[in-house]
Each structure stands twice: as C-alpha cells, then as structure tokens.
Amino acid sequence: MSNKKNADNKGPLVSLLINSAYYFIDCVYILHDNNQFRLIVLHKGTVLKDSYYRTARNARIAFQKQYKRKSWKEGVKAQWTVFYNPDQKWIEDKAA
C-alpha cells in the first residue's frame, strides 16, 4: 500500500473519499485489514456497496467505474485521503 503515510499499523486503516458530495453520496471509504481492501459506500444509512478487493487501487477503480455517471458533472475524478488509523468510535459509528 503506497500511501499509508499516517498509519501506525495498529488496527484497521481507512482511506476516505474526499469529494463524495460530487457523487451525491454521504460516505465512501476503503477499509484495509488482514491484507484485504473493503470498499464501502454509504448513503442515508443504507449500504450501497460493500465489496472486497486485493488492492486499494482495484477498489478505487471499481468505485470510479460504477459511480462516474452519477457525479454532478462530467469529468469529476475521485480524490482519496491517505490511509490512516481512525479512532475506534468512528469505525463503530460507520458500522452501525
């Protein structure tokens, strides 16, 4: 994983979609744990996508392919944060 700059390898790592509002989606993130990358797309309490990928790049490409037509204008490119360790409460809130 090339962009885990802020990670201390304690617990799962997360990369958030910075410009999720352009896709009219509440929250999109990639969870890295146990050598898998889990793409999770949430909107108004509903899980729209929950899939596993071998690499973060594959997860990001899958998101872009599925949601590029749903962006508010053509040419919007997904922007992601580096992988970091979120606090446990954040993970529990998103999982609920």
Q: What are phi and psi of 95, to 5 degrees?
A: -75, -20
Contact assessment for residue 6 and residue 82, using Cβ atoms and an 8 Å cutoff: yes
How buried is 75 (Cβ within 10 angstroms: 0-12 exposed, 13-18 middle, 19+ buried)? exposed
- Spatial neighbors of 95 by CB under 8 A, at least 6 apart, are none
Residue 72 has what pLDDT? 61
pLDDT tens digits for the chain (96 residues)?
445 545 555 778 999 999 887 778 889 999 998 899 999 999 988 999 999 999 999 999 999 888 877 666 677 788 999 999 998 888 888 776
Q: Can you state the percent helix, strand and coil of the chain, rounding each to 5?
A: 30, 30, 40
Long-range contact pairs involving 31-34 (C-beta distance under 8 Å, separation at least 24):
31/91, 32/1, 32/4, 32/56, 32/83
Residue 12 has what pLDDT? 87
Residue 1 has what pLDDT? 47
- pTM, whole model, 2 decimals? 0.82
